[in-house]
Structure 1
């Protein structure tokens, strides 16, 4: 299965990096994995459209062509990122804005969006929102699932929210990573 991991965290020694390693170490040999590490790629998250960059030409932007090629190639998507201020990192949001564009990932109909992509996805987020608030909190793991990927034709989508990361012990972090490893082995 062609598996595309889209990863966003600036610290290569972070817990998110440990999540990424756990996922890649535990995917079966049936997965052909490509990684987009947005920070390592120095991905430019700024969406530009003006006279030189018309919005209708975003599907042909040479700066994002390799990413569109990988998105088209993928059958399984894995997104790994922290939730900061109830949102995904700006670099991840910019990736979505610049790559999952109209005419490529979807098109507008009279009443909704029709997706051009296919496949399934797994979203793994980390944050420090207290667990009892998590079900009510707006976060971009949920937004990515319900408003972006679904609209682009990617489903089903599984979400794992790893909460309280800064306040828990190393032993509790290892338990969370063990659960991620089990899920990775099953996809």
Structure 2
């Protein structure tokens, strides 16, 4: 599996960075081909410029954008790690989405609607935030963030969002609670990937079963056709035999009558 981790936090001492470390360790342990795009470290420019748009529309995508698009197309699983700032993602990650998830790469217009072009790709999201999950849950903010991010961006592009985990009150946690949060990261990743594998195997088994049933039906139909033909042949044969027998009886009766007359 090709695993891309897109990370957006400026501090190497952050809780987000700890999630990055654990996610990468999990991926390497599973022997996934792993790439990390630390947007602050690589100096990614989040500003979508007019020259970018002109270049992409003219078939000449700027190299910086093309490089990141290649990573997206390469990946089977993409993990986004970012803090929630002002009930959304950091500007650098939003700019990454604006520039990299472009028309013709992430989506296109088709049959009067929109078609996502990143089908088959899985997405995991880990988002530490200062506010508690309970507080944001009460006012519906967690659902709102999932709708605008998970639905509005990734599912819109045809991607499968496996899980979006919000780590509430992350900036005020005791060390023990931080450790509990961090323990959840590999568990979530393992469970989501295991569930997806089971789902794929279920679909494959379904296809195998359907193909098997279709084959059985074809064989039954073939056998039925053969039996029908054999029955028809036997019926014709019986008719011929009956006809011969009748002709023999007639001939015998005729001979008997002639002998009677001569007597």
C-alpha separation between the residues in 1 aligned to 2:103 and 2:158?
13
Corresponding position of 1:90? 91
User: How far does residue 42 in structure 1 lie from its aligned partner after superposition?
Assistant: 0.3
How do residues 47-66 of structure 1 correspond to structure 2 at under 5 angstroms? 47-49=48-50, 53-54=53-54, 56-57=57-58, 60-66=61-67
Offset at residue 184 of structure 1 (A): 3.0
1:125 equivalent to 2:127? Answer yes
1:58 deviates by 7.8
Deviation at 1:173, TM superposition (A): 0.5
Task: Verify: 1:99 aligned to 2:91, yes or no.
Answer: no
Structure number with greater Rg is 2
Q: Which runs of 5+ in 2 are unaligned?
A: 194-263
Aligned length in residues? 186
Q: Which is helix-richer, 1 or 2?
A: 2
Q: 1:141 to 1:39 in 2, by over 3 A?
A: farther
2:13 aligns to what? 13
* Distance in 2 (alpha carbons) for counterparts of 1:58 and 1:13: 41
- Mapped to 2, the partners of 1:77 and 1:128 lie a distance apart of 24
Correspondence for 1:146: 151
Q: Name the Cα RMSD after superposition.
A: 2.0
Change (3 A) 1:185 1:110: closer
How far did residue 142 of structure 1 move?
4.5
**Relative contact order (alpha carbons < 8 A, sep ≥ 6): 1 or 2 greater?**
1
Q: Tell me if 1:173 matches 2:178.
A: yes
| SS of corresponding position for 1:144 | helix
Structure with the largest fraction of strand: 1
Higher mean alpha-carbon deviation, 161-170 vs 131-140, is at 131-140
Q: How high is the TM-score relative to the length of structure 1? A: 0.91
Moved more, 175-184 or 109-118: 109-118
Q: Distance in 2 between matches of 1:121 and 1:143?
A: 15
Partner of 2:223: none
Task: Provide the rounded CA distance (Å) in 1 between the counterparts of 2:182 and 2:34.
Answer: 19
